[in-house]
Amino acid sequence: MRKSLAQGIAAGRILVEAISGGMEIVGRKFEQGEYYIPDMLASAEAVGVAMEILAPHLTAAANLKPKGKFILATVEKDQHDIGKNIVGIMLKGAGFQLVDLGVNVPACRIADAIEREGADFVGLSALLDTTMRYMGHTIEELKRRQLRSRVKVLIGGAPTSPEFAREIGADAHCKDAFAAVETANRLAEGRF
Ligand code: B12
């Protein structure tokens, strides 16, 4: 990690290409029965350390004026947060103000935070087939509380897709953290 930085490789590139790429290999090995849950946990821990090294390089790059307030959460019953955290660091680096609600966050807590923070964007993450439906539940909760038109909703995570985003009424699906920053920038330009 430090060696790559010293070679002048951009921190964002290391984050998305090396870390995401590495975790994909971990996922494949888990599927093939070569890795078990403790291996996934150890990999997640290693990613945490790597992110601590990379984060200052990303946030330091951004002496930009704030582009809007972004709430991030992994939806209910889902504990996966590596992808969400990468997206968070990249958004912060791009000049968005970040409020990270963590993992396993029910729809009502996300809606509460939008109200409390006066957020402009909400980003939802899900890594399980069984939890992606809570993204839809969250959007329904926002509609119920008349908050939906106040925020742009971005979704991401391996089981999600542009079709799914359309189906649940999200504004955008992002396949990785680069796409998240690009989409948020585009939406912010229209707003501020
Ligand atoms: C690490 C890991 C774990 C760790 C999580 C640690 C942590 N702190 O996150 C632990 C061990 C806890 C875990 C547990 C489980 N896991 Co798991 N896990 C993984 C693994 C190997 C990697 C996920 C990851 O971090 N990827 C790397 C990141 C960088 O990629 P990403 O999340 O996709 O994020 C990028 C994009 O998707 C996007 N993005 C993501 N979120 C967002 C949000 C927004 C707003 C935007 C814009 C973009 C965006 O940008 C990110 C960065 O570029 C995957 C395998 C895989 N290939 O995904 C399995 C995987 C997701 N897990 C799986 C399973 C089954 C489980 C368990 C049910 C296992 C069990 N029997 O207990 C539990 C569930 C726990 C729970 N309730 O959540 C399955 C899911 C199958 C499915 N389709 O439903 C997978 C696919 C493994 C497999 N092949 O079977 N897991």
**Closest approach atom of ligand 1 to CA 20:** 29
Reading phi first (left if > 0) and then psi (alpha if -120 to 50, else beta), residue 73 is in: beta
Q: What is the pLDDT of residue 178?
A: 87
Write the burial class of residue 132 (CB in 10 Å: 0-12 exposed, 13-18 middle, 19+ buried): buried
Q: What is the pLDDT of residue 102?
A: 98
Q: What is the pLDDT of residue 20?
A: 77
Q: What is the pLDDT of residue 96?
A: 92
Q: What is the pLDDT of residue 191?
A: 59
Ligand 1 neighbours by CB, cut-off 6 Å: 16, 19-20, 23-24, 26-27, 30-31, 37, 40-41, 43-44, 77-84, 86-87, 123-125, 127-129, 154-159, 174, 176-177, 180
Number of domains the chain contains: 2
Q: State which of 28, 59, 90 marks the end of a domain.
A: 59
Q: What is the pLDDT of residue 52?
A: 84
pLDDT tens across the length of the chain (192 residues) = 788 888 889 888 887 788 878 888 888 898 899 998 888 888 888 888 888 888 888 765 555 677 899 999 999 999 999 999 989 988 988 889 999 999 999 999 999 999 999 999 999 999 999 999 999 999 999 999 999 999 999 999 999 999 999 999 999 999 998 899 999 999 998 754
- The answer on 150 and 78 residing in a single domain is yes
Count helices and strands (H / E) in the chain.
9, 5
**Closest approach atom of ligand 1 to CA 180:** 47
CATH of the domain at 153: 3.40.50.280
For ligand 1, atom 73: residue with the closest CA: 79
Q: How many CB atoms lie within 10 A of CB 8?
A: 6
Decide if 64 is inside a domain.
no
- The answer on 29 and 122 residing in a single domain is no
CA–centroid distance, 28 to ligand 1, in Å, is 12
Q: What is the pLDDT of residue 167?
A: 98
- The answer on 131 and 108 residing in a single domain is yes
Q: What is the pLDDT of residue 12?
A: 82
Q: What is the pLDDT of residue 59?
A: 66
